[in-house]
Chain A
Amino acid sequence: MLKLQSVCSDVAGINVLRNVTGEVHAGSLTAVIGRNGAGKTTLLRTIMGAVEIKHGTIHVDGELINHLKAYERSHIGIGWAPEERVIFPTMSVKENMMFPCQIVGHNKGQVQDRIDMVLDVVPQLKAMLDRSGAALSGGQGKMVALGRALMVGTRIVLLDEPFQGLSPALAREYGESLSNLRNSQPDIAIIVTESNAALLHGIADQTFNIERGEITN
């Protein structure tokens, strides 16, 4: 599904990712574990194209995507939930979720099918659909960000530190949603970054430990 080969990238002129190599398969959940500043977010931003790749290759289903512009990557089925969640406050939760599908050009039927799938995986969103994006708590925002990433993440879903700031109860709910997602969507590869490995214990199929921009296992 996703194959990284000797990926290097810089942030503000500083080499952050160093020869990152790894493979992620459809229907699996991959945990990227590392301390703050280890390069977890940069890894996801590099896959998304937000950080330019300096060296190495990224393939999705055998297709090289290095040359794809950042805004073209959602069009090939990569969904991303950033650490800060960024829910647009002028839109309702449902509009927030539909928005990326509209951008990539899905028709109404496709959008509705996708919403139904997301609500099956993250049922907590049902009660929030009509709520304003400005009226969400941090935990709710994380759920919406997950749902929104799933709307276009038909092949790969990247979740950047989704457990950060969640209460234990909410973290448990979020973990259940991830398990639902992995079990019900065998075509999607999920990558989750986290600094606390225990939070993904029992959920992750494989783990990449990242330290100073290098995969150490």
Chain B
Amino acid sequence: MNSGILTLALLDGVSYAGMLFIVSLGLTFIFGVTNILNVAHGSLYACGGYATASIGLWLMGNDGGIINSIFSIIAGTLLVGVIVGLILEYLLRFFEKKPPILQLIITFAFFMILEDVQRLIWGTSPYFVSTIVGEMGNVEVLGVFYTNYQLIVLPGAAVIIYFILNWFLKHSLLGKKIVAVTHNKEVAVGMGVDAKKIKKITFIIGGLLGAFGGALASPTTSMVPGISADIIVLSFAVVATAGLGQVTGALIAALIIGIFRSLSIYLYPELEVVIPYVIMGTVLLFKPQGLFTVEKARRI
């Protein structure tokens, strides 16, 4: 393998990992707080991507400025993240006291419904608006030309979100309430935390993260039917590798899976699909709770 391909694979891997981390973070965040494994999370990614591409096309055709592109990313994220996140939270309210498996099935049903909704709204043709990628230009990295968007925006957004979320959870009162509900809902409620409100906020934050991942990815990849399923299984691999509910773990796992997936695309393309699951399976074989276990109070 020559150094150019290796550089390209690493750059692709880091860029993809940035997007994957943002989506996985939403998934693990919702699970961490509510104990619900949200299968419909992939639909948030897809709808976020579709909505961003649609808004982008509406604003500028396939030709416009960076500001318009940024606006379409923000608008697509907010529109889908808040609305779909709240609808899902509302639906799950009816099954709050039912067994967790039923809640999982509800999110799966919602995923199936959203698949059809996507076909209904956007059809089956690919949606792709890459204006921002072209406008931001390219840069040479170790002899390889690479887009500034993928080099800076995707990993940069992931790092910024990682730090903002960590700060939010550790230092803001709302973040501390979310952490308290995550650790023990009943005790948090006993202290005065409105757990229902926290659950709603969690679904909005998780929804925004999923939709933001899709919105960021939309200029670099075509939005096509079935993309929800592709991203949700990859996100599951990241979350399971990291350990459910782990923020830092999700960042590292996304990086590992992103880079190895990318290397396999260049070296052994036929292994691209299985690589994330090989990594996940290997980790779970030795650490069934994932690489990063939850910090727990001593029991002695």
Which of A's residues lie within 8 Å of B, judged by CB?
45, 48-50, 69-75, 80, 82, 84-91, 95, 99-100, 102-104, 133-138, 141, 148, 152
CA distance A134 to B194 in the complex (A): 24
Contact B195 A134 (CB under 8 A): no
A135 touches which one: B173, B177, B298 (CB < 8 A)?
B298
Is the interface on chain B under 10, 10 to 19, 20 to 34, or 35 or more residues?
20 to 34
Evaluate whether A103 and B296 lie within 8 angstroms (CB atoms) in the complex, with A50-B186, A89-B183, A91-B176 already known.
no
In Å, the complex CA distance between A80 and B297 comes to 19
Q: How far is the CA of A82 from the CA of B191 in the complex (A)?
A: 11
Closest to A82 in B: B187
Chain B: minimal CB distance from A84 (Å) = 8
Cβ-defined partner of A103 (8 Å) among B169, B183, B193: B193
Assuming the A-B contacts A99-B180, A99-B191, A103-B177, are A87 and B297 also in contact, with contact meaning beta carbons closer than 8 angstroms in the complex?
yes
| Known pairs A91-B176, A137-B300; A86 contacts B187 (CB<8 A) | yes
Least CB distance from A216 to B in Å reads 27
- Set of chain A residues within 8 Å of B195, measured between Cβ atoms: 71
Kindly state whether residue B283 has any CB partner on chain A within 8 Å. no
Chain A residues within 8 Å of B173, by CB: 102-103
Is B125 at the interface (CB under 8 A from chain A)?
A: no
In-complex Cβ contact of B295 among A69, A71, A134 (8 A)? A134
Complex Cα spacing A72 to B170, Å: 24
Known: A82-B187, A137-B300, A138-B298. A88 touches B192 (CB 8 A): no
Q: Is B3 an interface residue (CB 8 A)?
A: no
Known contacts A87-B297, A133-B297, A137-B298; A71 and B180 CB within 8 A of each other: no
CB–CB A152/B183 < 8 A: no
B2 contacts across to A, CB distance below 8 A: none
In the complex with contacts A87-B297, A89-B296, A141-B297, A50-B190 CB distance below 8 A: yes
Closest 6 pairs between A and B when the two form their complex, measured CB to CB: A74-B192, A103-B192, A100-B191, A86-B187, A86-B184, A80-B190
Q: Which B residue's beta carbon lies closest to that of A80? A: B190
Q: Which residues of A contact B295 (CB under 8 A)?
A: 89-90, 134
Cβ A104 vs Cβ B298 within 8 A: no
* Cβ contacts under 8 Å, B170 to chain A: 90
Which residues of chain B in 265-300 are interfacial with respect to chain A, using CB atoms and an 8 Å cutoff?
Answer: 295-300
Query: CB of B179 within 8 A of chain A?
Result: yes
Q: A69 — nearest CB in chain B belongs to which residue?
A: B194
- Chain B residues with CB under 8 Å of A80's CB are 187, 190
8 Å CB contacts to A: which residues of B141-187? 169-170, 173, 176-177, 179-180, 183-184, 186-187
Number of inter-chain CB pairs below 8 Å: 77
A136 contact from B186, B187, B189, B298, Cβ within 8 A: B298
Assess A88 versus B179: contact at CB under 8 Å? Given A50-B186, A103-B192, A104-B192.
yes
A70 to B189, CA, bound (A): 6
Contact present for A74 and B298 (CB under 8 Å): no
Chain B hits for A95, CB < 8 A? 176
Query: What residue of chain A has the Cβ atom nearest to residue B176's Cβ?
Result: A99
- Inter-chain CA distance A134–B189, complex, in Å, is 21
Nearest A-chain residue to B180, judged by Cβ:
A88
In the assembled complex, the Cα of A70 lies from the Cα of B170 at a distance in Å of: 25
**Contact present for B190 and A88 (CB under 8 Å):** no
CB nearest to A70 among chain B residues: B189
- Would you call A71 and B189 a contact (CB within 8 A)? yes
Residues 209-249 of B, flagged 1 when their CB comes within 8 A of A and 0 if not, give 00000000000000000000000000000000000000000
Can you name 15 A-B pairs with beta carbons within 8 Å? A50-B190, A69-B194, A71-B193, A73-B190, A74-B192, A89-B183, A89-B296, A90-B295, A103-B173, A104-B192, A134-B298, A135-B298, A138-B298, A152-B191, A152-B192
| Residues on the A chain within 8 Å of B177, using CB | 103
Closest partner residue, chain A, to B186 (CB atom): A50
A133 CA to B295 CA, complexed, in Å: 10
Q: Is the CB of B179 within 8 A of A82?
A: no
Chain B residues near A49: list those with CB within 8 A: 189
Which residues of A are found within 8 Å of B192, using beta-carbon distances?
71-72, 74-75, 100, 103-104, 152
B169 and chain A: residue at smallest CB distance: A90
- Nearest A residue (CB) for B191: A100
Candidate in A49, A80, A87, A90 with the most chain B CB atoms within 10 angstroms? A90
Residues A88 and B299 in contact, CB atoms below 8 Å apart: no
Enumerate chain A residues within 8 angstroms of B190, measured Cβ to Cβ. 48, 50, 70-71, 73-74, 80, 82
A141 and B176 CA atoms in complex are apart in Å by 19
How far apart sit A135 and B192, CA to CA, in the bound complex (Å)? 25
* Cα of A70 to Cα of B186 in the assembled complex, Å: 9
Tell whether A86 pairs with B189 under 8 Å between CB atoms, given A91-B176, A141-B297. Answer: no
Q: Shortest CB–CB separation between residue B166 and chain A, in angstroms? A: 10
Question: Contacting A138 at CB < 8 Å: which of B180, B183, B184, B300?
Answer: B300
